[in-house]
């Protein structure tokens, strides 16, 4: 659920979007509230405050496969 968002410009195909996300507070049960910002070349393009339920990764994905994909993403392992 998105509580609020502000847009300050567009990200275009080929742009590298840098995301910053921070925990604002713990909600009820497994719900957490976050604040996030998106930047292109150091310029703020969006901010948003949103909440979501924490779901264990193993409930939706194969954890070992996802660990391997992450290593590829951060260039620690080649496919």
**DSSP string covering 17-46:** EEEEEEEEEE-STTEEEEEEEEEETTEEEE
pLDDT at 73: 86
pLDDT at 23: 94
Quote the number of domains for the chain. Answer: 1
pLDDT at 51: 94
* 34 found inside a domain: yes
pLDDT at 27: 72
pLDDT at 30: 87
* 28 found inside a domain: yes
Q: What is the residue range of 46's domain?
A: 2-73
* 79 found inside a domain: no
What parts of the chain have a pLDDT lower than 50? none
* 78 found inside a domain: no
């Amino acid at each position: 659920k998105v509580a609020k968002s502000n847009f300050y410009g567009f990200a275009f195909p080929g742009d590298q979007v840098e995301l910053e996300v921070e925990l604002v507070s713990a909600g009820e049960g497994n719900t957490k509230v976050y604040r996030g910002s998106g930047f292109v070349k150091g310029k703020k393009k969006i901010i948003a405050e949103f909440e979501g339920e924490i779901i264990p990764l193993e409930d939706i994905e194969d954890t070992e496969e996802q660990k391997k994909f992450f290593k590829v993403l951060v260039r620690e392992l080649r496919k």
